[in-house]
Amino acid sequence: MMKKWLQALTLTLCRFLIKGYPAFFRRQAGKEMVRDMKLLLEEQRFRRGTPSYGAFCLALLADTAAQLLVQRRQSRREVLPSAKRPQGRRRTLGGNMQSLWFDFRIALRALLRRPGFSLVAVLTLALALGANTTLFSLVHAVLLKPLPYEDPDRLVALWDSADYEDKFRVSPFNFAFWRDNADSFQDVALYGYAGYTLQTDEGPVLFYGSRVSLDFFDVLGVEAQQGHLFSPDDYQGQGSSVIINPAAWRTYFGGQESVVGQVINLDGQPHEIIGMVPDRLYPLSAWASGRLEFGAQPRFWKPAVNLDTHAQAHVYGVLARLEEGVSLSQAEEELRRLDASLRQDRPDTHRSHRTVMVPLNEEAVGRVDQTLWMLFGAVGCVLLIACVNVANLILVRIQARQSEMALRQALGAGRFEMLRQFLAEALLLGTAGALLGTLGAVWAVRLLPTLAPAEIPRLDEAALNLPTLAVTLGLCLLTAAIFACIPLWRTRRSSPAQALRPGGRSTDSASGHRLRGFLVAAETALAVVLVIGAGLFLRSFQELRSVDPGFEPGQVLVVEMSHSQQQFETHQPLRDFYGQLLEESAALPGVDSAAASYDHPLESNWFQGIELIGYPELPSGESRTALYRTVTAGYFETMGIPVLEGHVFDGSETPEGAKQVIINQSFARRWLGADDPLGKTLRLFTMDGPGEFEIIGVVGDVRFSGPRQPSEPAYYLSFQQTPQYRMNLVLRSQGPARRLLPQVRNLIERLAPSQAIAEASTIDEILFSTVADSHFSSLVLGFFALSALLLALVGLWGVSSDLVHARRSEIGLRMALGAGRAGVFGLMTRRGMAPAALGALIGLAAAAILSRWVAGMLFQVSPLDPWTYLLVCLLLLSTAFAAAALPARRASRTDPLQVLREQD
């Protein structure tokens, strides 16, 4: 069976190779050769004791292929008289180059003779290749390029997990446990957020960085660029050594040569810069949800000391490097064993503990890979459509060039020579398109990262580097090869004699039209898929924007501030500072109301465990948790969060008085059920230790994690009773909120001269950033879809015009026989639109199947959303009608007399 299959394959391949033999020889000996080959293969198949049949087939193939070259060379010698042959053309490199140069010169001349065709083809290819280059540079930078650390495949991130949350930050206790017990890891390191006020010559600035354990840089495999890395001595005392990155060195220290050894002031404490590490993407802190935050801006690192004081605080991220030769699954297995022992030994704190291990490159990319691959797929479709369009143009040109090609054939050009000529033309088109596209990509690669959501890491590394250009070159060559083969294939059966006859009609114009109709249908189908995709993403974006965030958006300025304990040694000065700040800022012109909160409404911090006094404990393995906020009086009014029951803080709360808490609706519903929440008591853990708080009010839900996530239970504490060192000042303004910033800066500078403020933003900007990924996808996909639609319409228009042109005499005859203008218009429009309608149908079906893949990226929009499908259909058919109607109108105005006269 196998041998029979091999025999058939070999024969087919041999036949294919023989097709490449010079026509004269092929006609003379081709059939006989194939018959002999078949006989030989048959004989060999039934012969016993011979070596492998496969080897025999291979030898036969190799012989046929080798003879192809021999025969071609020989026939070339015979066709070209020796006087005309460039000297040494066949044997020397210079001769080959000369012949290549000759081919390209002819091709260039042919292309310049038809500037319209060449321009449209080059622009179409430039658009598609440029878009592909841009998108690939993003995909390469974000998804394909390895992380810039030593042996990055061995790096993993470790997170905690429990039954109440899948993935959250790690406590110092767990870090130490893994470091001391897990044999699968060579090194384990801890890192956590740090933000300090740095005193510079231009005033105080907020300087962000990371508190790290001793092994942090070893795990990443980073060496110091200047100075040295942390040593155990740096972890003595309060840890006042600092390592900075070159961005910080340039921004804050003016790029001086002797930055190592310099003493800087962080939060009023002297720190010594001991080294500088190369500019790379370092994990800096971890989000509450257990996601890495990477920073490439000015950053510093300092030793994480006194971890024992908060051994159970889940506020850190952990990185580990796998031992050489240890696989992920082996490490996973060991972690499962360690988890079990922790759960057994420490049921009080690790009742449902589980470790989550994620490869660092996966962690860095997060959930953006799906978006990027989808966009890359879309851009691939655009390229396909562009190719189909150019192929279509080439087909039109073939009809016009039929006599030229026939002449070449008649003068002895073989198929190989023709292929070389077409290849030269296609290569010129492709190269021009690729060059123009790459120029566009240079600009687009700079533009796209500014549109992209901040959560796509390493976008700034996107560049037109070697791999990207190699892909562009590859695509260019591939498209050129396809374009070169089309005319060759179309002319395979054409007879030079027929084409050269005066008034000779094109050989197979009907099948040419059919082919072009099919191509238009294919590109319409692709365009429909893209437009429907873009439509779905646009609808999804609209839905996201229309979600009620739970507060009143609008002109609200959010100013982030961080204070140190050195600045405010006790809580009272901090309260006084905020009391005065809020009072004076509320009095600023244009400000409606002012308040402050720990974490702004769209910042999701981590869940805290709570106890409800008078309520039984939940069954084993479950615990009550909620997000928390600390707010000042006037916060709910400023943010426009409705008060549903009871009352809110009015500023009269005192640290010594009864502790009060406000809960949100989700809290009441989830943990108190139908009970009246007012007057109930919660036992909460704050910075000052555990305490009992009375519920005094219930407020509306806010979507803390953005519109995609449902509201979570949350409680609000009074700033008067539990002050925080990091607060956000929120100001509702009557006019544009950003205009308040200079006044606010002046005010803060006056009240606390050493206070730095971070970049301020408006609540609308923050709200937008939560849907920026959806905006990015719909914008980029929309652009591709529009390009695709435009290209498809151009293709359709071309085919319709060509159809009208080819049937001119038929139309004239019809009209002479009494057909009306409306009838001719209708007929030609119908014929012109037929491929578009077919393509639209195929596209709809394909979109219905493919859209399932993006269902996870859509928000409250079904992948089969009927409105989107209907609208896209209408859009496509109406534009297709326009594209087909223009040539049809021209057809209906044909003068029958003139056409008939031309016939004579």
Whole-Å CA distances, 39 to 2, 43, 46, 596: 18, 6, 11, 92
Kindly state the DSSP code that residue 727 receives in the 8-state scheme. E
Q: Smallest distance, Å, CB 818 to other proteins?
A: 57
Indicate the pairing of strand 165-168 with strand 300-303. unpaired
Name the residue nearer to other proteins (CB basis): 20 or 366: 20
Please state, in angstroms and rounded to a whole number, the distance separating the CA atoms of residues 682 and 614: 9
Q: Smallest distance, Å, CB 25 to other proteins?
A: 6
Name the residue nearer to other proteins (CB basis): 78 or 676: 78
For residue 561, which of 380, 290, 756 has the smallest C-alpha distance?
756
Name the residue nearer to other proteins (CB basis): 36 or 692: 36
Amino acid residing at 389? N
Name the residue nearer to other proteins (CB basis): 59 or 119: 59
> What single string gives the DSSP state of each residue in 209-228?
EEEE-TTHHHHHT---SEE-
Name the residue nearer to other proteins (CB basis): 62 or 100: 62
For residue 53, give both structure tokens.
């049949």
Name the residue nearer to other proteins (CB basis): 33 or 756: 33
Instruction: Identify the H or E element spanning 811.
Output: helix 808-816
Q: Smallest distance, Å, CB 123 to other proteins?
A: 46
Name the residue nearer to other proteins (CB basis): 41 or 780: 41
Q: Smallest distance, Å, CB 36 to other proteins?
A: 5
Q: Smallest distance, Å, CB 493 to other proteins?
A: 24
Amino acid residing at 133? T
Please state, in angstroms and rounded to a whole number, the distance separating the CA atoms of residues 373 and 383: 15
Q: Smallest distance, Å, CB 38 to other proteins?
A: 10
Q: Smallest distance, Å, CB 416 to other proteins?
A: 16
Please state, in angstroms and rounded to a whole number, the distance separating the CA atoms of residues 323 and 750: 55
Name the residue nearer to other proteins (CB basis): 32 or 233: 32
Whole-Å CA distances, 155 to 369, 637, 824: 19, 47, 70
N-term to C-term CA, the chain: 63
Which residues lie closer than 8 Å to 123 by C-beta, 6 or more apart? 433, 436
Q: Smallest distance, Å, CB 70 to other proteins?
A: 6
Q: Smallest distance, Å, CB 99 to other proteins?
A: 24
Cα–Cα–Cα angle for 895, 901, 904, nearest 5°? Answer: 150
Kindly state the DSSP code that residue 1 receives in the 8-state scheme. -
Name the residue nearer to other proteins (CB basis): 29 or 900: 29
At 599 the three-state DSSP class reads coil
Computed from CA positions of residues 528, 530, 531, 533, in that sequence, does the dihedral angle turn out positive or negative? Answer: positive
Which residues lie closer than 8 Å to 710 by C-beta, 6 or more apart? 666, 703
Kindly list the residues in this chain that would bind other proteins in the complex (CB under 8 A).
18, 25, 28-29, 31-33, 35-37, 39-40, 59-60, 63-64, 66-68, 70-71, 74
Q: Smallest distance, Å, CB 30 to other proteins?
A: 9
Name the residue nearer to other proteins (CB basis): 44 or 98: 44
Burial of 846 (0-12, 13-18, 19+ CB in 10 A): middle
Indicate the pairing of strand 625-631 with strand 714-718. parallel
Q: Smallest distance, Å, CB 414 to other proteins?
A: 16
Q: Smallest distance, Å, CB 65 to other proteins?
A: 8
Instruction: Identify the H or E element spanning 593.
Output: strand 591-598
Integer Rg of the chain from CA: 37
Name the residue nearer to other proteins (CB basis): 26 or 708: 26
Name the residue nearer to other proteins (CB basis): 21 or 208: 21
- Give CA 567 to chain center in angstroms: 43
